[in-house]
A and B are shown apart, each in its own frame.
Chain A
Amino acid sequence: MSEPIVDVRGVSFAYGVRPALEDVSLGARAGEYVGLLGPNGAGKSTLLRIVAGLAAPASGAVRLAGLDPHRAPRRAVAQVCAVVPQEPRVAWPFTVREAVMMGRVARQGLLAIPTRLDRGAVDGALEACDLAHLAGRRVDALSGGERRRVFFARALAQEPRVLLLDEPTAFLDLGHQVAAMRMAQVAAQGGLCVVAVLHDLNLAAAACDRVVVLSRGRVVAEGAPADVLTAERVETVWGIPVWRGENAATGATVVLPSLPARPPR
């Protein structure tokens, strides 16, 4: 098996005195789609920020394609790793093409004048995300689902080896959630190492090669979704009774919360 391109070893992190991660290790390889699962406050997004080098671990080591992402020049990190933020913001009315072109900055000169290579990468990313017809539209005029695709396209235009997604399905309707998961899957099949923070256990079970469950800043389980997402584990980690089964059509693990039945009227 190839060396992990994302290599997190024994990382701890705290916000002030409140510990957020304790002795977390994580490895992910090229072509792999890894889901980070866990309740709110488990440290998933913090772990993602540490992998991206946006926060420094208090202890432990992080390697991203051999780089220390917190110490290495930002340009070098951005050439190997792209982040799709949870709530992408655009303060000014840039067009879709302009926003996606920003993914190229780490490979451009001071004034970021695009080369043929840059334009090719942007065209490819727009195509892959079904945005070519929206290229001239203002990002702030798009719907939530379209806007999320713009930031996915921007990440693809970065031509990274590692793609970090922070809740790629948040605030999206079911159709757009599935589309977002498909794009991540396709990226992994194309050879990228994809690590995504996910809340929907069923989407994670259906799409991810591997899931890592975090609880209170610690890794409590990792492995194939079917092995990790047992009813017992979900009940312990999320603190709710669940029904666990299999999707008859695909064989994927399905986890449903068992709400108490409504009392008869």
Chain B
Amino acid sequence: MSRSATTRLALALAAGALAVVLAVALSSAVGAQPISLSAALAGRDPDAAILLSLRLPRAVLAALVGCALAAAGTALQALLRNPLAEPFVLGVSGGAALGGSIVLVAAAGVARVAGGAGVALGGAPPVALGAVAGAAASTVLVFGLGRIAGRLVPEAALLVGIVFNAFVAGVITIMKILVPAEEASRLTYWLVGAIGYEGPGTLATGALFVALSVGLLIALSARLNLLTLGDDDAAALGVDVRRVRALVFLGASVATGAAVALAGVIGFVGLIVPHLLRRVVGPDHRLLVPASALFGAVFLVLADALARLAFLPLGTEPPVGAVTAFLGGPFFLWLLRRRARPEDAA
């Protein structure tokens, strides 16, 4: 990182932080119910309640989830040496959904048997741990099965991820049939990929998970640059490839697991955001990872605001995961076609 790159980093971080604040403010200001900012800040209800108890926590939640998914996507792309990698596409989000679902259903089962004492088990933290464990397991699985003759083949890993997603969808469908209707609808509501309304405790726990995992990925960002060169090259340049890869797995899994635990499966954030930023800040992961984290937050806050507002006349709103899939699906295909052109093959 040269001096000009250090300046670029400072600029990107300042711009990103400012954009996060603006996006959260904008998202908090708009909605079905017009509110008066002065009234809200003066503490007068219902304006204050709408702003501080509903919209602001929701925007913060969207920011946390977007931050985690975009950072995880950037790291997974470096690891797979392919810009099509992303937590959702690679099945990491699916693994997190499966892990979380198993914990949710198991905890509900325990609660039924054990009565009131077991209810606490169904809360957020165990689900988050299940999601992180599921994300970690699926990451190891996808990168393990994506190897042909010992070499990581990006297309193979992507295929494994797609098949794994279909498998997870099937397993979760079966789980929904087997559990009582109330739990099935709880699962559906969680996994649909909607930013909901969470309490301060959940937000704080989520923020801790996201901060630790994204912080780890930022700390590894200089090594990520070398991993994009290939295992042998990175090792010859002094990188302990196995250890760094294990730590990247850990960071990406915790980030994705936390995001899925907080908001269900939201796809393509980790695909769109790093790709657009790479065009602005370049390929250096020391810039790209923190910038992706910040602008991933911006992206999902705005996408959630869009989801809330676009269908307002119909009196309904789609989950934000539908919005990101609507944008991300075509984006993925465009990226795939663009890379299929021979001049981009290198």
Contact = CB atoms under 8 A, between A and B. Distances in A.
B198 interface: no
Given A93-B282, A111-B221, A140 B346 contact: yes
A65 interface: no
Interface stretch (B47-55, B227-235, B250-258, B298-306): B227-235
B10 interface: no
Contacts of B82: 91
B237 A158 contact: yes
Given A78-B238, A105-B239, A91 B228 contact: yes
Given A75-B238, A82-B236, A105 B222 contact: yes
A102 B229 contact: yes
B239 A92 contact: no
B238 A89 contact: no
Contacts of A94: 225, 282-284
B235 to A, nearest CB: 6
A249 B1 CA distance: 48
A136 B100 CA distance: 47
A54 B236 contact: yes
Interface string A99-132: 0011101101011111000010000000000000
A235 to B, nearest CB: 34
B237 A111 contact: no
A207 B192 CA distance: 66
Contacts of B230: 85, 89
A224 interface: no
Given A94-B283, A106-B238, A112-B286, A89 B229 contact: yes
A52 interface: yes
A89 B235 CA distance: 14
A114 B2 contact: yes
Contact of A74 (B222, B229, B239, B282): B239
A103 B236 CA distance: 9
Interface in A70-99: 73-75, 77-79, 81-83, 85, 88-95, 97-98
B2 A102 contact: no
A119 B2 contact: yes
A79 B237 CA distance: 8
Contacts of A74: 235, 238-241
Contacts of B225: 94, 102, 112
A49 interface: yes
Contacts of A52: 236
Contact of A73 (B221, B240, B346): B240
Given A88-B229, A97-B2, A102-B225, 10 more contacts: A54-B235, A54-B236, A88-B233, A89-B229, A91-B229, A94-B284, A102-B226, A106-B238, A112-B1, A112-B286
Which A-B residue pairs are the 8 nearest by beta carbons? Answer: A106-B238, A78-B238, A92-B283, A112-B222, A83-B236, A91-B81, A91-B228, A75-B238
Interface of B: 1-2, 6, 81-82, 219, 221-223, 225-226, 228-230, 232-233, 235-241, 278, 282-284, 286, 346
Interface of A: 49, 52-54, 73-75, 77-79, 81-83, 85, 88-95, 97-98, 101-103, 105-106, 108, 110-114, 119, 140, 154, 158
27 contacts: A54-B232, A73-B240, A74-B239, A74-B241, A75-B240, A78-B236, A85-B232, A85-B236, A91-B82, A91-B228, A92-B228, A92-B278, A102-B225, A103-B237, A105-B226, A105-B239, A106-B237, A106-B238, A108-B222, A111-B1, A111-B221, A111-B222, A111-B286, A113-B1, A113-B6, A140-B346, A158-B237
